Structure 1
Amino acid sequence: MPTSQLLPRRAAAQVSDALADTRVVLITGARQTGKSTLVRVVAGDRLAERRDLDRAQDRAAAIADPVGFVDSPELLAIDEIQRVPELLLAIKASVDEDPRPGRYLLTGSSRLFGLIAAPDALPGRMETVELWPFSQGELDGEPDGFVDAIFALGPELRHSSTVTRADYAARIIRGGLPEATSREDDRRRQRFLDAYVQALIDRDVRQLSDIQHKGELRRLVRLLAARSATIVAPNALESALGLSRPTIVRYLQALEEIFLIKRIPGWSRNLGTRATAAPKLIFVDSGIAANELSVEARALLRPGAPFGPLLESFVLSELARQLTWSEQLVELSHYRDHSKAEVDAVLENRSGQVVGIEVKAASTVGLDDFRGLRRLADRLGDDFIAGIVLYTGTSTLPFGDKLRAMPVSALWQTSSPERA
């Protein structure tokens, strides 16, 4: 669907709440996800001035006189703060002298504290709001309430759907970047996504890491797209790329810092084990991953096409979006035990309650699809709230105690109980 109209963003309420009680608010996320637009919408008449560090003149002024650049009696917005991280010290001094909330509204396309040049920034003075590409609910005007609903209702949650496999494929290909979703012509969208990834490598990655092999980095992105929704170990990429393991580790970190990829940690009740468990990799935007594989929506449904891994990556990224606004404070992990029983997504709230989610590209589900969920349920006992297999069928079906098959569209078409 075209998105020339201004679509409401879930993050707007978070930013407004943060400005009411926090001195500095940072909106962070991938380039062209709508951060600057969100600033204008949320700040409105309160905005004294907006400065953009992607502009050479603004950047030169910031470097020459950081203290003067951030001097403002009213709310000051600064875009792409990672371009001049030295400004953070000037902002810190300013908000320490005048601790009123809502002093600065910053945006950044890199994770601020991963920057090589970033000084000791703003602990205790700043709240970060992560802005992802559009969710399916934002694009469709649907409630995006699955996470809160499944923790509140567990296996009592029901959902039916008219979304087809072809529609799921089209959604994966479209992704959620505003500029891409506004382009109805497939070729124009592909050209945009090609240029978008190349620009990230040429500009943003170079700010974060000493990149000596841009060609190999481009190959790495394509290789990661082919392994989307899998556990990716750097040492398994050495021979394919001809790069050393430390170099691959550094490049993966840079790609995550610019919000191109996200690594989902392995789940364990032992926090030490969780920290060292192998992560699963997804792309922040499914449209980018599909474009890197040169696959179109119709071709995605053919036998042998990567519909399954791309659908899983799509689901995981939709869940990750929802966790930035859900009432439940939830962490997202994946599960794999020594017997190789797996669960694609593990949602755990602060009370230790867990929802397990498997993703299947098929329109029918069988008992064997619940193997990993049953293993997780046996391990957790009463802390296991529900095990859901999200599939491309149309109905919610029972498969045992706390186990249900449910259409993928439940992710964005389900209402949160708090908002119902």
Structure 2
Amino acid sequence: MYPRYSELHVKEALSDTPVVFIMGPRQTGKTTLVKTLMDEMGAEQWTYITLDDQAQFEIAQADPVGFIRNLPATRIALDEVQRLPELFVSIKQAVDEQRTPGRFLLTGSANALLLPRLSDSLAGRMESVRLMTLSECEIQGQQPTFLSKLLNREAPSTQSIRVREHILNRLVTGCFPEPLQRASERRSQAWYQQYLSTLVQRDIRDLTHIDHPDLMGKLLKLTAFYAGKLVNLTELGGKLGLDRLTIKKYMALLEQLFLVEQLPAWHSNEYKRLVKTPKLHSVDTGLMCAVRGLNRDRLLKQPGDFGLLLETFVYNELRKQAVWVDEPLSFYHYRDKDKVEVDVIIENAMGDCFAIEVKAAATLSAKDFTGLKRFQSVAADRFKIGILLYDGDHTTAFGDNLYAVPLGALWA
């Protein structure tokens, strides 16, 4: 079993918060983490219930209030709670009557806090922890240091160099636990196809009524082609014959299921020549490759696709590592009206900015730093360090607080 570095954050939350909600895509190991925690904390203290059990689901659906009130006087682990968001109101009532730290440990394969049926909030009573697909740090068994160094304005370094072959395999296999353990690329992609079929046939229909369920699979495939690009809802809708409002609603469903993310554009009141359109990213490159029919050989022949997948991989890795950092971080991309861009901008609560550009090449020139230099000029004093990740050998300075860093440093 792979280590999950979010486990510590869940334990800390259970020590002082009545409700802890572990949320993330299906099949990322939420249930495994919950059962591991139950064993470590004493299984006799816990009652485990999953709403994937149809009998339990129907009982809870018939009487949400009675279901929660009649639970045993133990800690409760409630799995796949997004299937019945009405339970959140009853959980809130139970917590208000008896505010015990760690009383409820919930998991959800959809962001239940965004569901329209959720009529009340657990604000101030609940802490949420994202559990996404495996980080490369977790797969390698390495403690993450990249973000901590970056936030300390240090240029990361690594002994892991020339990682192109490794990256190619990771992009195609992805970071879900199950396909990582399969014997071949073909078997990994078969898993993804079944995963997608389940999502479209069941999970999306569980969330809300949609008029064109058959189009959700097509939309998911389209998002894989748009990953790493600016979001154009009108264009997406046009390809499916849907108006802008409908396509916006369907995209929101994919985001609720943690399948895609929209990365907002960085903005500044002082600089007006900025593009405000968000970028689209898939939560896993293996999923993208399966949807698009991309394998290792095809990626070698299609460098443009390889570059976009690599950008998505790096973005996802940074987002996963941000969960383990002890300060809130916001993520953006930068693009101005001259089409100069930077792949990822990380901003802390103080407004300090840390910029990351991704290049698939092993050699670099000063031109590759154009985006970072432009952002450095626009952000002015808020800019702290700029990193260009590349498939090279050395961490090298390319100017004032600008560095080229080998890709392997991301998980070293």
- Aligned-pair CA distance for 1:124: 0.9
Counterpart secondary structure, 1:327: coil
- Aligned-pair CA distance for 1:338: 2.3
Name the amino acid aligned to 2:56: D
- Aligned-pair CA distance for 1:13: 0.4
In structure 1, C-alpha distance between the alignment counterparts of 2:159 and 2:381, rounded to whole Å: 27
Larger displacement relative to structure 2 (64-73 or 378-387): 64-73
Taking a change above 3 Å as real, the CA distance of residues 38 and 97 of structure 1, as seen in their structure-2 partners, is: same
In structure 2, C-alpha distance between the alignment counterparts of 1:378 and 1:178, rounded to whole Å: 42
Counterpart secondary structure, 1:237: helix
CA deviation profile, 1:103-129 (whole Å, cap 9, x unmatched): 000000111122232221311100000
- Aligned-pair CA distance for 1:160: 4.0
Name the amino acid aligned to 2:100: R
In structure 2, C-alpha distance between the alignment counterparts of 1:215 and 1:66, rounded to whole Å: 31
- Is 1:50 paired with 2:45? no
Match of 2:25 in 1: 30
RMSD of Structure 2 on Structure 1 (CA): 1.9
In structure 1, C-alpha distance between the alignment counterparts of 2:303 and 2:317, rounded to whole Å: 24
Larger displacement relative to structure 2 (159-168 or 366-375): 159-168
Name the amino acid aligned to 1:367: A
Match of 2:58 in 1: 60
Match of 1:108 in 2: 108
Q: Which runs of 5+ in 2 are unaligned?
A: none
Name the amino acid aligned to 1:15: V
Taking a change above 3 Å as real, the CA distance of residues 240 and 65 of structure 1, as seen in their structure-2 partners, is: closer
Counterpart secondary structure, 1:93: helix
In structure 2, C-alpha distance between the alignment counterparts of 1:240 and 1:64, rounded to whole Å: 41
- Is 1:200 paired with 2:195? no
Larger displacement relative to structure 2 (256-265 or 325-334): 325-334
In structure 1, C-alpha distance between the alignment counterparts of 2:206 and 2:391, rounded to whole Å: 41
Match of 1:87 in 2: 87
- Aligned-pair CA distance for 1:251: 0.9
In structure 1, C-alpha distance between the alignment counterparts of 2:46 and 2:160, rounded to whole Å: 47
Match of 1:15 in 2: 10
Name the amino acid aligned to 1:247: T
Match of 1:397 in 2: 396
- Is 1:146 paired with 2:146? yes
- Aligned-pair CA distance for 1:306: 0.9
Which residues of 2 match residues 256-295 of structure 1 at below 5 A?
Answer: 256-270=255-269, 277-295=276-294
Counterpart secondary structure, 1:154: coil
- Aligned-pair CA distance for 1:43: 2.7
TM-score (norm 2): 0.94
CA deviation profile, 1:270-320 (whole Å, cap 9, x unmatched): 49x9xx931111111111011111111232122455100000011111111
- Is 1:255 paired with 2:254? yes
Percent identity between the two aligned chains: 39
Give the count of matched residue pairs. Answer: 405
Which residues of 2 match residues 159-238 of structure 1 at below 5 A?
Answer: 159-238=158-237
In structure 2, C-alpha distance between the alignment counterparts of 1:35 and 1:84, rounded to whole Å: 18
User: Does the CA contact (< 8 Å) of 2:16 and 2:102 recur in 1?
Assistant: yes
User: Does the CA contact (< 8 Å) of 2:161 and 2:391 recur in 1?
Assistant: no
Taking a change above 3 Å as real, the CA distance of residues 303 and 65 of structure 1, as seen in their structure-2 partners, is: closer
User: Does the CA contact (< 8 Å) of 2:157 and 2:406 recur in 1?
Assistant: no
- Aligned-pair CA distance for 1:225: 0.8
Name the amino acid aligned to 1:237: L
Match of 1:39 in 2: 34
In structure 2, C-alpha distance between the alignment counterparts of 1:244 and 1:201, rounded to whole Å: 21
Name the amino acid aligned to 2:62: A
Match of 1:418 in 2: none
- Aligned-pair CA distance for 1:154: 2.9
TM-score (norm 1): 0.92
Counterpart secondary structure, 2:65: helix
Counterpart secondary structure, 2:265: coil
User: Does the CA contact (< 8 Å) of 1:343 and 1:372 recur in 2?
Assistant: yes
Name the amino acid aligned to 2:26: R
